[in-house]
């Protein structure tokens, strides 16, 4: 609610609602921003109710039941189908999708809040409710015919969607995709070949990236919409560590008929566009899981006594709890700041195109769009990396606070620790996102933002924190300068993690300072976060100064034992 009450979605919502002109066609559409916000608020209250009272009580059993493959057909755990139906009946299966096909037409930021709530209740349910960017891609790039064919049943919850990209030889590097897309004499498209590790690959609305041209070029890939069924064989459902409610499928496309989505050869570019959305979604999933783990740990710490004292009162445990809470709240600030930029970017893009088509001036909107696009370019990989790594650590610590009990199946935290592990891997690994963010970090993309914030009067209480943030900035720039002097190896990739981390501390630090300025309790969060970020930045600088990474040249001697 802290973030909801401070949303800045006025411009994005106005564009999304076409200047609030939809009521004639869709009577439930809001008449103004105030009404839109009320709709979002009511929807989130309902989502919280469903998540807490319906989905969460089913999640432990879903984890035990998993999904089954029999005679080529996948059956979901009973609880998964029930939870999905509940969300669909409330309209949440079309949260960000257009009114025209039955969707709620909500901004991405509200959708992220939905994902966080649902994932806190059942992390696996996120792969069913939280992949709406598949529908978004169809609606943005597909023809009207394709939209009409696919979207209504997906939005009503009758069909489950799936994003089909990964192949055994094409994981992080999607240019390696080999699934063949070909046309018959009438120009109809078909797919032949394999995909693996596909969440809900047994679904009915598959968005597939396939090779439509010979060779290995990124411009040889196109995007297709495909119905599941006889021509899409589920060969295998993976046995995996967590997310048991979400079947991860190996697929064989047996001359499956498909429809082209968007422009031929532009498939990877279309996918990269929607991946921004997907990265924030996985970050929101991880955040939800971390929040659940935190509450388990906090409650357990308050009832567990050792040495005649509750462990909550013991400093090593208290430090873990405080660090978790601060990490979760700072991550939430990062996520919703990023999501609001995403909304602005997506909607301004539409507006600029619209103004252009009408021959009206669009320069001002274009400038703001460019700024928003740059922010998303930085914040989507940054948030995905920072928040998912945070969540893995939070679940690990939550388990630790439970002692031996944390290792037991009967404890919820054991499941959360398994479920969270995938979040740093899928939708791009942490390493890929560090590299993705590093370009904008090295260019110091947020320079103006930092300078603007430095000039703010944060008040006496926060002055020390502000000074520390400035110190981090100096350390960051020093590290950057040092990184460049090494020539033997590409040091920009070697120290990319440290640089991206420091940049993340700076940006998030300022977000927290701004929050602390308006709410007393947040002063404590900002102080802990910034002090700890400063300590980690000092350590990173020392590592770079001491040439810690020079031994990369010796990988063979060190590792080949």
Ligand X SMILES: Cc1cc2nc3c(=O)[nH]c(=O)nc-3n(C[C@H](O)[C@H](O)[C@H](O)COP(=O)(O)OP(=O)(O)OC[C@H]3O[C@@H](n4cnc5c(N)ncnc54)[C@H](O)[C@@H]3O)c2cc1C
Which residues sit at the interface with ligand X, rule CB under 6 A?
163-166, 171-172, 197-199, 240, 243, 248, 422, 425-426, 428-429, 431-432, 435
Place of tokens 């598959």: 206
Residue 427's Cβ-side half-sphere holds a number of Cα atoms within 13 Å equal to 32
Residues 6 or more apart whose CB falls under 8 angstroms from that of 173 comprise: none
Minimum separation from the CB atom of position 154 to ligand X (A) = 15
Q: How far is CA 392 from CA 113, 280, 289, 424, in A?
A: 20, 16, 9, 8
Q: Alpha-carbon distance 117 to 44, whole Å? A: 9
Cα angle for residues 174, 421, 287 (degrees, 5° grid): 100
Q: How far is the CB of 428 from ligand X (least distance, A)?
A: 6
Q: Would you say 336 or 491 has its CB closer to ligand X?
A: 491
Report how far residue 123's alpha carbon sits from residue 117's, in angstroms, rounded to the nearest whole number. Answer: 10
- Least separation in angstroms between residue 63's CB and ligand X is 14
CB of 494 to ligand X, least distance (A): 11
Query: Cβ 199 to ligand X, closest distance in Å?
Result: 3
**CA-CA distance, 39 to 51, in Å (whole number)?**
18
Q: Which one, 211 or 332, has the nearer CB to ligand X?
A: 211
Q: At what angle do helices 496-518 and 463-485 cross, to 10 degrees?
A: 170
* Min separation Cβ 420 and ligand X, Å: 12
Q: Compute the least distance from the CB of residue 127 to ligand X, in Å.
A: 7
Which CB atom, from 198 or from 483, has the smaller least distance to ligand X?
Answer: 198
Nearer Cβ to ligand X (240/295): 240
DSSP 221: E
- The H-assigned helical ranges of 142-259 are 144-155
| Pick 354 or 497: Cβ nearer ligand X | 497
Task: Give the residue at shortest CB distance from ligand X.
Answer: 171
500 contacts: CB under 8 Å, gap ≥ 6: 382, 385, 434, 437, 438, 441
How far apart CA 374 and CA 362 sit, in angstroms, is 18
Q: 528: helix, coil or strand?
A: helix
If DSSP codes are grouped into helix, strand and coil, which group holds residue 254? strand
**Smallest gap, in angstroms, from Cβ of residue 504 to ligand X?**
18
Output 334 or 420, the one with its CB closest to ligand X. Answer: 420
For ligand X, the closer of residues 198 and 274 by Cβ is 198
Q: Which is nearer to ligand X, 96 or 321 (CB)?
A: 96
Nearer to ligand X, 314 or 425 (CB): 425
* Sign of CA pseudo-dihedral 130, 133, 136, 137: negative
Q: Which residue has the tokens 């079947």?
A: 247
* Residue of 173, 211, 177 whose CA lies nearest to 191: 211
Residues 6+ apart with CB under 8 A from 2: 515, 519
Name the β-bridge partners of 205. 161, 227
Shortest distance, position 418 Cβ to ligand X, whole Å = 11
Q: How far is the CB of 207 from ligand X (least distance, A)?
A: 9
Handedness of CA 298, 300, 303, 307 (dihedral sign): negative
Min separation Cβ 435 and ligand X, Å: 6
Q: Which is nearer to ligand X, 102 or 171 (CB)?
A: 171
Nearer to ligand X, 233 or 368 (CB): 233
Please give the Cα distance from 235 to 197 (Å, whole number).
11
């Amino acid at each position: 609610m802290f973030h909801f009450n401070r949303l800045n979605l006025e411009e994005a919502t106005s564009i999304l609602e076409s200047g609030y002109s939809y009521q004639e066609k869709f009577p439930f559409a809001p008449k103004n921003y105030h009404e839109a916000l009320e709709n979002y608020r009511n929807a989130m209250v309902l989502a919280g109710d469903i998540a807490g009272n319906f989905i969460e009580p089913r999640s432990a059993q879903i984890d035990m039941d998993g999904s089954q493959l029999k005679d080529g057909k996948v059956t979901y755990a009973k609880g998964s189908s029930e939870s999905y139906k509940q969300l669909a009946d409330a309209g949440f299966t079309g949260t960000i999708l257009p009114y025209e096909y039955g969707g709620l037409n909500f901004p991405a930021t509200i959708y992220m809040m939905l994902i966080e709530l649902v994932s806190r209740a059942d992390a696996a349910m996120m792969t069913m409710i939280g992949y709406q960017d598949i529908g978004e891609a169809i609606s943005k790039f597909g023809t009207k015919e394709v939209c009409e064919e696919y979207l209504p049943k997906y939005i009503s919850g009758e069909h489950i969607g799936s994003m089909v990209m990964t192949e055994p030889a094409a994981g992080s590097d999607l240019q390696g995709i080999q699934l063949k897309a070909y046309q018959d004499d009438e120009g109809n498209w078909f797919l032949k070949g394999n995909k693996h590790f596909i969440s809900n690959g047994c679904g009915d609305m598959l968005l597939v990236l396939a090779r439509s041209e010979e060779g290995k070029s990124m411009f040889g890939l196109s995007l297709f919409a495909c119905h599941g069924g006889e021509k899409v064989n589920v060969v295998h459902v993976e046995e995996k560590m967590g997310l048991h409610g979400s079947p991860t499928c190996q697929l064989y496309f047996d001359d499956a008929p498909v429809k082209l989505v968007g422009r031929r050869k532009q498939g990877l570019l279309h996918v990269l566009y929607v991946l921004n959305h997907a990265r924030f979604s996985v970050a929101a999933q991880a955040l939800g899981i971390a929040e659940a783990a935190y509450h388990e740990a906090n409650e357990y710490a308050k009832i567990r006594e050792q040495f005649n004292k509750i462990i909550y009162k013991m400093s090593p445990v208290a430090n873990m709890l405080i660090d978790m809470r601060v990490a979760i709240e700072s991550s939430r600030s990062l996520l919703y700041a990023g999501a609001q930029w995403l909304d602005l970017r997506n909607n301004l893009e539409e507006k600029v195109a619209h103004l252009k088509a009408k021959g009206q001036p669009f320069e001002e909107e274009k400038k703001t769009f460019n700024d928003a696009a740059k922010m998303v370019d930085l914040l989507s990989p940054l948030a995905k990396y920072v928040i998912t790594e945070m969540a893995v650590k939070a679940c690990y610590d939550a388990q630790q606070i439970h002692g031996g009990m944390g290792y037991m199946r009967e404890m919820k935290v054991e499941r959360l620790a398994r479920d969270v592990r995938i979040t740093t891997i899928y939708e791009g690994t942490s390493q890929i996102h560090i590299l993705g963010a590093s370009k904008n970090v090295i260019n110091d993309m947020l320079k103006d933002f930092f300078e603007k914030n430095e000039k703010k009067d944060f008040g006496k209480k926060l002055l020390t924190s502000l000074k520390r943030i400035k110190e981090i900035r100096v350390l960051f720039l020093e590290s950057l300068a040092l990184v460049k002097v090494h020539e033997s190896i590409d040091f920009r990739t070697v120290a990319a993690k440290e640089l991206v981390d420091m940049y993340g501390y700076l940006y998030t630090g300022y977000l927290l300072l701004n929050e602390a300025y308006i709410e007393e309790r947040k002063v404590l969060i900002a102080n802990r976060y910034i002090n700890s970020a400063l300590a980690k930045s000092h350590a990173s600088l020392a590592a770079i100064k001491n040439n810690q990474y020079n031994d990369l040249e010796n990988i063979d001697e060190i590792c080949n034992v």
